[in-house]
Amino acid sequence: ETGVTQSPTHLIKTRGQQVTLRCSSQSGHNTVSWYQQALGQGPQFIFQYYREEENGRGNFPPRFSGLQFPNYSSELNVNALELDDSALYLCASSLERWRSYEQYFGPGTRLTVT
């Protein structure tokens, strides 16, 4: 059984640029959630996708957007990058949206905005 994978591992971008992060969910999981973990903080929920539809969103501006594909993999897009967007971005998958209490995390993508 393949776990959650994320790419790239690390990324450096300049303020104002756009970035796309990718996530492959664990085999058989149709729900993907994205979290942002700033230095010294716990992960903060960005949004969740279930069967290609956004199922819920945290307190993040619209320049954070996402997609989920028919194979349940997902992308996180961030436009107009700001310095405060520097963080570890974590993807988590769960078997079904109503089993969000069981979320399995990938290793994360470390984004640095300069």
Partner 1 sequence: DQQVKQNSPSLSVQEGRISILNCDYTNSMFDYFLWYKKYPAEGPTFLISISSIKDKNEDGRFTVFLNKSAKHLSLHIVPSQPGDSAVYFCAAISNSGYALNFGKGTSLLVTP
Binding of partner 1 at residue 66 (CB under 8 A)? no
Q: Which of these, 89, 98, 77, 90, lies nearest to 30 by C-alpha position?
A: 98
Binding of partner 1 at residue 64 (CB under 8 A)? no
Q: List the one residue from 17, 18, 41, 114 that touches partner 1 (CB under 8 A).
A: 41
Q: In 3-state terms, what secondary structure has residue 9?
A: coil
Q: Please give the Cα distance from 65 to 57 (Å, whole number).
A: 10
Residue 30 is which amino acid?
N
Residue 108 Cβ, how far from partner 1 at the closest point, in Å?
Answer: 5
Please give the residue ranges that form the binding site for partner 1 (CB under 8 A). 4, 6, 31, 33, 35, 40-45, 48, 55-56, 58, 90, 92, 97-98, 100-108
